[in-house]
Chains A and B, each alone.
Chain A
Amino acid sequence: MELNEFVHQLDELEKQAVGELSGIQDATALEEIRIKYLGAKSGQFKNVQKSMGALAATDRPAGGKRFNEVKNAIQAAFDEAQNRASQQATKSTGPLADPTLPGARIRLGHVHPITQTIEHLKEIMGRLGFSVTEGPEVEDPWHNFVALNIPDDHPARDPLDNFYLKTAEKNSGATRLLRSQTSTVQIRVMESRQPPVRIISLGRVYRPDEADATHFPMFHQMEGLWVDRGVTMAQLKSVLRLFATSYLGGDVNIRFRPSFFPFTEPSVEVDFWWSGRWIEFGGAGMVDPNVLNAVGYDPEVYTGFAFGLGVERLCMRRHQVTDIRDLYRNDVRFLRQF
């Protein structure tokens, strides 16, 4: 047999077999084709293989090479068809992949919304140069009242308005109470160092109040204090505006309304103009000269301002919490929203 003829036979076989295999989708048809071309007994490939013996000895290497190429090509087409057929079979009967199924989530905990608010406040005030300080929650009357210009007969010291601790001797030097304001920390800081002082103190405070949707006998305050030479009320307004603009976003205006706190003079209530309305922020004022005197600062040399706000109120407004008690019930269905 001529080499040409042998190669031609192979070419035809390849064209035919690959063509037929490419259209195959199911296993039954594939098996028929396998027998037709690759069958061990009378497959067409077998027949062509037989005729290779009729080639001249010098043509055999070239013929053999072409034979192998065609064999590989048909086998590849067959494998592919088989793959297709088996996939087709799976599609119609077996399990199907579903990438829309939920992934295996990890269980993450949640930071309490009050903590988140406190961290937010610390971050903003930190950028404005206020350092975080803290002090004890169980206080003596000096730090909670006297040094804050709250004299002995002041209503704020009423036993029914404070959580005094049980002591063996009443009205002795051992009187202690749960602090009713974080201003106590101002005193402790000023007693321990000289101006300039630019600090915030954050923490729990305690006041006897019937718990309802807007009151809780324990809550959190942030108190800010800046004492130095030449600190003015205009700077108080400006610092609060910087704070409000950072906290609320957008441009915020500040309004002062006169108020009364024993430890500041002048004292004001602070409102923020934001989104077309006035929002109550908290109390503020210039540190009363009596307070500066109490901690040994000369009020003729130094002035300062202080401001305080309730953390709960900011937190509740920000996260649309309507009942303060939800913050302390610690129902996980509540906590996991934050």
Chain B
Amino acid sequence: MLVSWEWLSQYVYLKNTPDEIANRLSLSGLNHEETTAVDGDTVLDLEVTSNRADCLCHIGIAREIGVLTQQQLCLPEAKIATSGEDITKSWKLSVEAPAACPRYTGRIIRGVKVGPSPAWLVKRLAAIGCKSVNNIVDVTNYVMFELGQPLHAFDLRHVRGNQVVVRMAQEGEQLVAIDHKQYKLNPSMVVIADAQRALALGGIMGGADSEVSGSTVDLLIEAADFAPRVIRSTARALKLHSPSSFRFERRIDARQLDWASRRCCELIVQVAGGTIQNGILDSATTTIEPPTPFTFRCSEIERVLGISIPITEVTRIVPALGCKLVDEGNGQYLITPPTWRADLTREIDMIEELARIYGYEQIPENVPVPMFSSAKRPKDVVLERIRGVMIAAGLDEALTPSVVTQASDEMLSPWTDLAALSTDIALLEGATRLRRSLIPSLLTCRLHNQAQSARDADLFEVAQIYLPSAEGGLPREQCTLGWVSGSNFNTSKGILESLLESVCGVQNWKFADWSNKLLEAGEGTKLQLNGDTLGYVGTFSKSGRKELKLEGTCSFVEISVDGLLALARIVPTAKVISPYPAVVRDLNLVLDEACRWHQLFETVRSAGGELLKDLQYRETYRDANKDGEGKKRVLFSFALQSDDRTLTSQEADDCVKRIIQSCEQSLGGRLIAS
């Protein structure tokens, strides 16, 4: 909001410098952006918050300065002389859309001489960046910037049928506005029409047809109130924002319509001559209720602010703000706010007013604050551990947008087949799908890096994925860890296994088969525990990589952090380490190709019993000449150890024998003598 220093001085005595005032205003709610010099005048740019529509005009700012510097306000009275027949005799006003236009008023001025504005008016408007059009339009703008009420002057000649109709637009109705652009309207927009057609887009802009021109003689002066929501949606839909729509969107003071209308007529007669016809077209059937008073307890000041404000200051500031103050005794007052302060309706609002005028700098910044316990959540502990492992594994953390394109969404969705939720408007270019997996996003980043010749972008992310529920409603948001890297399947799975052990200790994990059209055959698996799936591992096949434009090996892992959290070993517990020596043995078995390590592992583990302390896979190799087709040799080693004694070689040998026998019986394995 641009404010002219000279203009302000019409309403309030400015005893301070512009810099001092700008600073005071900044600290009391009107943030000062900059000060410029325009044609001998000083112009302040002030930021007005959306609750302070009363400050979108010079009188509003002058009122603030008056309160801050303890000066009286001097306001124009807007006295008009009227003559002739009452306009309601020959003119009809009908407001068919009272929700969109709660109040409409019109006055008629006859016999004006349209021409250039006087120098003082041009200068005032120029100071705040408003171009002079002609004396009539300039006055409507001047009054808007003076007291915040947007006004519009119609050329009365073009208002047909002696009728003003305020109605919602018809579907497809067209209007050429005074910016000479054609707008296509719809029934959510309010128009000012005559008996035949729309003349203006209510609250936003007048129409070219009825605009004031050099040949205009008689005027209809509109001062009205429009519903903020209607104006906002219309302005946005048409991409047509004006100083008028800006003010209506923030709500104007409907109780000052008449004052604004009179002020406008007064000034038009002053600069363009003409006579104001008797009477007013007014849609209001009853007078608007005055603002509701509320009770104010002085004791509340200290309870909220932590400081008390002297009663003399309270009784000075409250009336200065335009409030009526009635002392009800016991530190209690009945306060009636002024009409222009729609934001001031409650005790707490008054406390804010007192705080900002009395000065926030009066509030100390070193009062005691009681202690309070707080501790890291298990989830924070788990996330820290996860990031620690990821970093040790050489992966860099990425953060990617939660909403992705359709192509990205459909690339891979291991967790669900239900369609992704989507947003009405795109987050970024084409991105409307709430992602169901982190992997497509991470692949996009890998590809971006690849294009920058960084082929080693191994990236992880921890974020929510949004899994729709079959019943609708809020989606299940699963905190998820995903990574993509240039490692092969085995390495990625190894990192996952290290991570699982670090977070959850030893668990009875299962890796089940999982396939996807993008994956290398046999290089996809899902991590399961007790039948629940907690994650996925995969390597992209050659054709998958070609489809995704990935260069070189690429594997990924995606795992539910929520799932890990439920199993997390937040506080590890120590086990006694056996002081007795371990016997380490290697075994080399010939097995069927179909026999999996997991089966062998379980067989050896159950045969070894509690003596088996460690079981490590070593390698697999094949020798069709010696073992025949469809066979493989699996080498593994294990340690046998007791917690309470040194194993005799007999005990160890017996245990090894049991293991071999079990492998022979359940897996059809055959021992190769080493």
Contact = CB atoms under 8 A, between A and B. Distances in A.
Interface of A: 106-112, 114-115, 122, 125-126, 128-132, 136-138, 140, 153, 155, 158-160, 163-166, 174, 176, 178, 196, 198, 204, 206, 208, 211, 217-218, 230, 232-235, 237-242, 253-260, 265-269, 286, 288-289, 303, 327-333, 335-336
A259 B374 contact: no
Interface stretch (B179-187, B270-278, B333-341, B446-454): B446-454
B497 interface: no
A166 B364 contact: no
A234 B367 contact: yes
B611 to A, nearest CB: 36
Interface in B352-383: 352, 355-356, 360-361, 363-369, 371-377, 380
Given A254-B365, A332-B454, A109 B360 contact: no
Contacts of B452: 331, 333
B424 A166 contact: yes
B477 A238 contact: no
Given A330-B445, A330-B448, A257 B29 contact: yes
B28 A329 contact: no
B141 to A, nearest CB: 24
Contacts of A159: 424-425
Contact of B303 (A240, A257, A266, A303): A303
Contact of B402 (A107, A164, A218, A232): A218
B367 A335 contact: no
A159 B449 CA distance: 35
Given A178-B423, A234-B367, A265 B352 contact: yes
Interface residues of B, number: 86
Contacts of A174: 472-473
A335 B398 contact: yes
Given A206-B402, A206-B403, 7 more contacts: A112-B397, A125-B374, A128-B369, A131-B375, A176-B421, A329-B448, A330-B396
Contact of B477 (A108, A136, A333): A136
A199 to B, nearest CB: 9
A206 B427 contact: yes
A136 B372 contact: no
A206 B424 CA distance: 13
Nearest to A122: B380
Contacts of B364: 234, 237-238
Interface string B162-205: 00000000000000000000000000000000000000000000
29 contacts: A108-B394, A110-B396, A110-B397, A115-B397, A129-B373, A132-B377, A138-B477, A160-B425, A165-B422, A176-B474, A178-B423, A178-B434, A198-B372, A198-B374, A217-B401, A217-B428, A235-B367, A238-B366, A238-B368, A242-B369, A258-B28, A259-B29, A260-B52, A265-B351, A266-B356, A289-B346, A329-B448, A332-B457, A333-B452
B232 A257 contact: no
Contact of A112 (B399, B457, B474): B399
Contacts of B15: none
Contacts of A128: 369, 372
B229 A153 contact: yes
B265 interface: no
A106 B395 CA distance: 12
Nearest to A119: B384
B156 interface: no
Interface stretch (B458-466, B520-528, B575-583): B458-466
B428 A109 contact: no
B49 A259 contact: yes
A105 B399 CA distance: 26
A25 B233 CA distance: 97
Given A178-B423, A289-B346, A241 B363 contact: no
A258 B357 CA distance: 10
Contacts of B307: 234
B401 A111 contact: no
Question: What are the 4 tightest A-B residue pairs by CB atom distance, in nearest-first order?
Answer: A234-B306, A129-B372, A232-B306, A266-B352
Contact of A109 (B392, B423, B445): B392
B367 A108 contact: no
B232 A232 contact: no
- Report which residue of B302, B305, B387, B452 has the largest number of chain A beta carbons within 10 angstroms of its beta carbon: B305
